[in-house]
Amino acid sequence: LAVRAARRDLAGLRVAVSAGGTREHLDPVRFLGNASSGRMGWSLARAAVLRGAEVRLVAANVDLPPPPGIDLDRIGSTGDLAQAMTRAAKDADIVIMAAAPADFRPAEASQTKIKKSGDDGLRLELRQTTDVLAGLVRDRTDPDQVIIGFAAETPTETATLAELGAAKLARKGCDALVINDVSGGKVFGSSTSEISVFTSDQYGGGRHGPWAGTKDTLAHRVLDIAVELRTRR
Ligand code: CTP
Ligand code: CA
């Protein structure tokens, strides 16, 4: 790690990272969200700064202190994330979507607190949120910009990690997809993880890893791949 940081191979580059989990409000006090801690995004931002990059970190509901030397933008919903990342990606050389966006939002958010009515349950109508990553790929203007996504998957006998990774990579259109195997009760919020990285057909469609370790170590692996992809664009 020390060697990579000393090399400062990201000097002069701008890196935009998203972290955490977005929330979609049902009413002023309730939301649909997820358990993403934001740790992977924090590790990516810290690693990129150590390697000399100028870093903008867009954080959705992350309960961690701001990493030093980083331009931090705290946001809430998937819509906010789309806006903030679109702005951050405009002049970024490397874009990494480590955030876990809520996939659905209420068709209508109530301006007042939703009350129980007798013994009745509650039926919610949900709409899909915008796919931020797919939008960043679609609207990319800098042909040298590298865009990397993250996904947590649970492989089964009928769908292996490789199949799930290849399918999602193709659907998103990004340059690489970092896949986290979360089968077997591996939990969110941990400081360690296991990842495999799938690169798009443009780069020969390779699979890298798997690597296990702290999120700080894995962040450097992901940045190594970003650097490698830049030289091949
Ligand atoms: N992503 C995004 N916008 C969304 C959903 C996901 O930008 N509305 C990004 C995530 O930040 C991540 C990548 O897409 O980098 C993969 O996220 P994932 O939730 O695995 O993808 P989905 O398309 O939402 O597929 P799934 O139905 O498996 O959740
Ligand atoms: Ca999703």
34 carries an active-site annotation: yes
Residue 150 marked ligand-binding: yes
Residue 57 has pLDDT above 70, yes or no: yes
Q: Determine the Cα–Cα distance for residues 119 and 15; give it in Å rounded to an integer.
A: 51
Are 193 and 216 a contacting pair, CB within 8 Å? no
Higher pLDDT, 186 or 151: 151
- What's the half-sphere exposure (Cβ side, CA atoms, 13 Å) at 74? 7
As a whole number of angstroms, the longest Cα–Cα distance in the chain is 65
Work out which ligand 1 atom sits closest to the CA atom of 18. 11
- Ligand 1 pocket, CB under 6 A: 78, 97, 99, 101, 103, 129-133, 149-151, 172
Q: Please give the distance of CA 33 from its chain centroid, rounded to a whole number.
A: 15
In this predicted model, what pLDDT tens digit does every residue of 9-56 receive, in sequence order?
A: 999 999 999 999 999 999 999 999 999 999 999 999 999 999 999 999
What is the three-class DSSP state of 145? coil
Residue 31 marked ligand-binding: no
Residue 186 has pLDDT above 90, yes or no: no
Which residues have their alpha-adjacent CB atom under 5 A from ion ligand 2?
Answer: 103
Residue 188 marked ligand-binding: no
Q: Which of 198, 196, 192 is nearest to 217 (CA)?
A: 192
Q: Determine the Cα–Cα distance for residues 168 and 133; give it in Å rounded to an integer.
A: 11
Q: Please give the distance of CA 63 from its chain centroid, rounded to a whole number.
A: 16
Are 101 and 150 a contacting pair, CB within 8 Å? no
- The separation between the first and the last C-alpha atoms of the chain, rounded to the nearest angstrom, is 25
By most ligand atoms within 8 Å of CB, the mutation choice from 22, 85, 97 for ligand 1 is: 97
DSSP conformational letter for 52: T
Work out which ligand 1 atom sits closest to the CA atom of 134. 7
Predicted structure pTM score: 0.96
In this predicted model, what pLDDT tens digit does every residue of 109-132 receive, in sequence order?
A: 999 999 999 999 999 999 999 999
Cα distances (Å, whole numbers) of residue 111 to 59, 76, 88, 105, 116: 25, 17, 30, 15, 15
pLDDT of residue 191: 83
Are 49 and 69 a contacting pair, CB within 8 Å? yes
